[in-house]
Amino acid sequence: MKEKDKYSEDIHDELIKDLFKEYSLEEAPASLKSETMNRVFSDWTENALSYKPIINKRNRLWMIGGFAALLAISFLIDASVIIDYWNKINVNNSIIDLSKIYKQMGSLGTTMNSLPSIIYFTIAGILALLGIDRFFNRLANI
């Protein structure tokens, strides 16, 4: 009996499969797409107008402080300020006697010694900018 049912079911299955080969989907009305897109655009416009801050209020305060500090370091202090400060504190040059290092480095040391200080400050500036850039990149991902 079970086998008979199974046989009958298999025939139905095949018949329905055959029937579905000629089946075509119902045509959706044109208004479906236009109405849906109207809703989508309307929703998009509403959301586009509302401002959602990326950084919350709590983080904003210390960020402003950090930014101000970085500005002071990178723009307000120029080379002359640093040199003056260096002279004022009257550092004992024997402690960091660079001439010995230059001698040990040979010709490279002589070249480095003859380079104007502006080059060193420029390198320091570039490194500072790279550091600031990295700092802001990290902040952007908070």
Interacting residue ranges for another protein, rule: CB under 8 A: 4, 7-9, 11-13, 15-17, 19-20, 22-29, 31-33, 35-37, 39-41, 43-44
Nearer to another protein, 41 or 136 (CB): 41
Amino acid code (one letter) for 107 = S
**Cβ proximity to another protein, 27 vs 78, nearer residue:** 27
For the CB of residue 76, give the shortest distance to another protein in the complex, in Å: 39
Q: Are 17 and 10 in contact (CB under 8 A)?
A: no
Query: Would you say 49 or 89 has its CB closer to another protein?
Result: 49
CB of 21 to another protein, least distance (A): 9
Residue 90 gets the label, from left (phi > 0), alpha (psi -120 to 50) or beta, of left
Tell me which amino acid residue 122 is: T
* In the complex, least distance from residue 121 CB atom to another protein, rounded to whole angstroms: 43
Q: Which is nearer to another protein, 3 or 78 (CB)?
A: 3
Query: At closest approach, how far in Å is the CB of 137 from another protein?
Result: 21
Tell me the angle at which helices 57-71 and 117-140 cross, rounded to the nearest 10 degrees: 170
Cα gap 67→79, rounded to integer Å: 21
The alpha carbons of the chain give a radius of gyration, in whole angstroms, of: 37
